[in-house]
Structure 1
Amino acid sequence: MTTTASPSGSIVQEARDFLQAHPDIEAIDIVLHDSNGVGRGKIIRRHELESFYESGRHLPISILGLDIVGEDVDETGLIWDHGDNDLRAWPIPGTLKALHGTQPPRGEVFMSMYELDGRPMTSDPRHALTRQVDLLADEGLHPTGAFELEFFLLSNERGQDGGIKPAGDVLDGRESHKTEVYSVDHLHGMLPLFSEIYAAAEQAGIKAETMISEYAPGQYELTLHYRTDVMQAADDLMRLKRIVRLKARQNGITACFMAKPFADFAGSGMHFHVSLRDGEGRNVFVEPVEGEWSETILHAIGGLRATMGESMLVFAPHANSWRRFASQSYAPVSPTWGFNNRSVALRIPAGNPNARRIEHRPSGVDANPYLVATTVLAGIRHGLRHRVDPGPRTTGNGYADAQGAHPIPVDWRSAIEEARASDFLKDALGEDMHRTFTAIKAAEYARVAGTISDVDFDLYLHRV
């Protein structure tokens, strides 16, 4: 049976209002995010938008079974097992926005995949997150949160050694190859670009906030406003990455969202701040007496610690992701927790106790925020359900702390094996999303492992 009513809740009036408000827009990007967080879809013309809202858009099921470069991964079961049949994508209410500074003017809307009868297509990352949010709602809890976006701005030209190099300032071309961490003057050289990013974010309804010069040459961080809806928080992150990438390109430089582009400097994280509210809107992480942690936040941390090892593939999904984890690099190397401590994996930030939250720090900026949020919420649910003791908190140098009872994998291959065998992760993502994600990661690992790199020739060509 085929449904003609939108299962996403979208209504055609949204499209009509948008077209009336933006008579100059000629085309719209319709974007679905796969397990790697890559936006895939089509560009439709203005006159097609209403029909998209009325009846959705047929897309091949294989669009969710692609690896990072867009090759089919048959082991997902989403390619020839189904004859690469069409399913139907529907627009997500509230995600239809005008893009800033494009010529000719254009728009963008996110979409999600459904079976032809309207059931959620369960290898779509959005549906995995919706399921965890709904499970928490059944328990009277509602997650809120925000992601941090770290990224590099790189020159389109290579350095003398053939490697990548930080971009020169868009203001006057001035270059710096130093770690300009927290330098306000250094930020001024990129102000024309940052102003365009802020303007585009505002037009898209994103509350982009503080900009920081981060802990590596050419690295920056942009924080996002805390959302009462974690799906909106993930949407903000995905849309902002696209904005930064476009605006950098328009200014003649490259925005890089690799976790570790420079071997000798810190990588880029995607820290996820999360808290829970009850039906009355109260933050259940708030301690009854300041300094005496609530059982709720302790059990939540306990669940995240207990499940971190088998979940690391979600937080570090690519070969390059694993280069980010190094001692004293501001990336955690063990499942530690602590208060006001940036050397741990799970940090309770200082600040107003009424805003008490957990900062989940393992994820690189290359991770999929929908799957990160899904897995974090599932870990919190696990901790609350089983009243998991988080163990003693780390004080001082978290890099000196042993991994203890919950070690994390040491490399990408180990993470893939742990994720594949994990009953927790299978339940967290759902069986179909788990199979799809782990199959894609295994295929990507095989691609990387089978590639002869320059390092091989440098080490062995004249020596063995």
Structure 2
Amino acid sequence: MTPASDTHEPSDFLEKHPDVESFDLLISDLNGVLRGKRIPRDNLLKAHENGVNLPASLFALDINGNTIEETGLGLATGDSDRVCRPIPGTLMGTPWLRDGRQAQLLMTMEEIDGSPFFADPRQVLSRVLANFTARGLTPVVALELEFYLVDRRRDERGKAQPPCSPGTGERATQSQLYSINELDEYADFLEEIQQAAIEQSLPLDTALKECAPGQFEINLIHCDDALRAADSAVLLKRLIRGVALNHDFEATFMAKPYGNEAGNGAHVHISLIDEEGRNVFASDDEDLLGTPVLKQAIAGVLELMPASVAILAPNLNSFRRFQPSLYVPMTPSWGYDNRTVAVRIPSGPNAARRIEHRVAGADVNPYLLLATLLASILHGLNHELTPPAPIEGNAYEQLEPTLTNSWLQALDLFAANDVLAEALGRDFHHVYHINRREERAQAMQAVSPLEYDWYLRNV
């Protein structure tokens, strides 16, 4: 049984923030959507001591917040509650909300006996990390999140459109990759993100203009606590959305907001350190080649990549992103300092030797993304796998696409994979598969405007 949480953290917070009136207690569902409860200030200590009850069916919800009964977590169990406990270090203000009079706290769900609840994505990641601890290894991870700013007003056809620049008043129409001028034009927005991140102790690294109108990227500094890294990514997404609304934009992490522009990716950098703090991916000499352990890790990620697509591309729109020559890998592949492959080994100092995984969309659940990639690395290490030869040059011109762009096929590959089922937990594996399959069935019932445009009068 998990002991009652230490009350020093909330007591200190309440003393330092007398103006905070309410707290959002947050937990990530399968889609990475934050759900939970809002409590008044006077209930914070009680929530820390006793936790709060939420239904286990929270992890049966689809993207619209409807319970997928086929998961077995809904009415079949009486829609019963579980206790959610505070995550230490995640009690923080939300300065963009209500003039700083609101704050937030991340939670994680337990079974009735106090053990981790199998369907909580954070607990799934914790399960995978325990296997690294048993080997005396610690993953060091960093996430890069791409997002679009869109105008809150839709275009004449009701579709999303790029925003008007706060600096010039003109609507964005150009790529302007790495443009400093565009960073200057959106400086107030980016500065508010930076200041809010400082208040929340989120380890922001760099911000840059990405390769489409209104598209940006914000990176998090590498962290030797993968759970904390995923927490930071979840909280950063909430922060960016909230700050964007204050500037009359919407921020979206949708994988493909515009069909003819680049998608939003979530790149992950991973290295492993041993108990002496040495990077086991780094060879003795200063080169990109790395160690046999690095090669095994690469091989594991590549081997499980086809079955991982259901996690990396979790919804219908995710698969719009898989288009050639738009920096989205479409084949399990790797190479040295090559941005056209799925797994890139970046250049840089030997001590920072790492893999960069480039397949997932920004719509991914960060906990499940890290759990899947780390499980794949562990698979490579356990079986001492060997990767194929690295790709040099343009992978799009050399390799036929083999990663599926079919949501149904991705789910079939995921369902059939015993390695991921065992690593993530078979009960979770089942719930995730059923949840996504049923959402796909709902999506297939919707007829798109394109279908009316193309077929209504012509067939």
Cα pair 1:35 1:125 within 8 Å, conserved: yes
Q: Which amino acid aligns with 1:453?
A: S
Q: For the Cα contact (< 8 Å) 1:4–1:54, is it kept in 2? A: no
1:5 match: 3
Rounded to whole Å, the distance in 2 between the matches of 1:230 and 1:4 is 21
User: Is it true that 1:294 corresponds to 2:287 in the alignment?
Assistant: no
Which SS does the other structure have where 1:359 is aligned? strand
1:108 to 104, 107, 126: 104
Amino acid paired to 2:252: C
Deviation at 1:372, TM superposition (A): 0.5
CA distance in structure 2 between the partners assigned to 1:101 and 1:375 by the alignment? 33
Q: How far apart are the structure 2 equivalents of 1:133 and 1:246?
A: 31
What's the counterpart of residue 397 of structure 1? 394
Deviation, 1:5, is 2.4
2:367 aligned with 1:370, yes or no? yes
- 1:134 alignment partner, one of 119, 130, 134: 130
Length-normalised TM-score, structure 1: 0.96
**Of 330, 348, 364, which residue of structure 2 is paired with 1:333?**
330
Contact 2:312–2:369 under 8 Å retained in 1: yes
SS at match of 1:365: coil
Whole-angstrom CA distance in 2 between matches of 1:4 and 1:428: 23
CA contact (8 A) 1:336 1:401 kept: no
Structure 1 match to 2:195 = 199
Tell me which moved more, 268-277 or 172-181. Answer: 172-181
What is the CA distance between 1:181 and its match in structure 2?
A: 0.9
Give the fraction of aligned pairs with identical amino acids, expressed as a percent.
39
Letter in 2 for 1:191: A
2:170 maps to which of 159, 171, 174: 174
Q: Is the 8 A contact 1:144 1:230 kept in 2?
A: yes
Structure 1 contact 336–403 (Cα < 8 Å) conserved = no
Aligned: 1:160 with 2:194: no
Q: Counterparts of 1:8-407 in structure 2 under 5 Å?
A: 10-104=5-99, 105-291=101-287, 292-402=289-399, 407=402
Task: Measure, in 2, the Cα distance between the counterparts of 1:31 and 1:417.
Answer: 31
2:328 match: secondary structure: coil
One-letter code aligned to 1:323: R
Query: Shift in Å at residue 443 of structure 1?
Result: 1.0
Q: Structure 2: how far apart are the matches of 1:107 and 1:221? A: 25
Q: Check conservation: 2:322, 2:405, Cα contact below 8 A.
A: no
Q: What is the TM-score when the length of structure 2 is the normalising length?
A: 0.97
**Which position in structure 2 is the counterpart of 1:437?**
432
> Cα deviations across residues 396-430 of structure 1 (Å, max 9, x unaligned)?
001123359xx422311110111111112211211
Give the distance between the partners of 2:135 and 2:96, measured in 1 at CA: 44
Deviations 1:218-243, CA, capped at 9 Å, x for gaps: 10011111111111111111111000
Maintained 8 Å contact 1:30/1:109? yes
1:175 shift after superposition: 2.0
> Structure 2 counterpart of 1:382, which letter?
H
Q: CA deviation at 1:288?
A: 2.3
The amino acid that maps onto 1:439 is: I
Contact 1:200 1:243 in 2 (8 A): yes
Match in the other structure for 1:428:
423
Q: Distance in 2 between matches of 1:128 and 1:107?
A: 26
Letter of the 2:42 counterpart: H
SS at match of 2:361: coil
Aligned partner of 2:13: which letter?
A: F
Q: Is this contact kept in 2: 1:296–1:384, CA < 8 A?
A: yes
Bigger drift between 203-212 and 138-147 goes to 203-212
Q: Which runs of 4+ in 1 moved over 6 A?
A: none
Unpaired segments ≥5 residues, structure 2:
none
Equivalent position of 2:408 in the other structure: 413
Structure 1 residues 245-290: Cα deviation after superposition (integer angstroms, max 9, x where no partner): 0000111110011000011111010001111000011110001233
The count of residues paired between Structure 1 and Structure 2 equals 457
What's the CA shift string for 1:34-77, capped at 9, x where partnerless?
A: 11100000111000000001111111111111001100101111
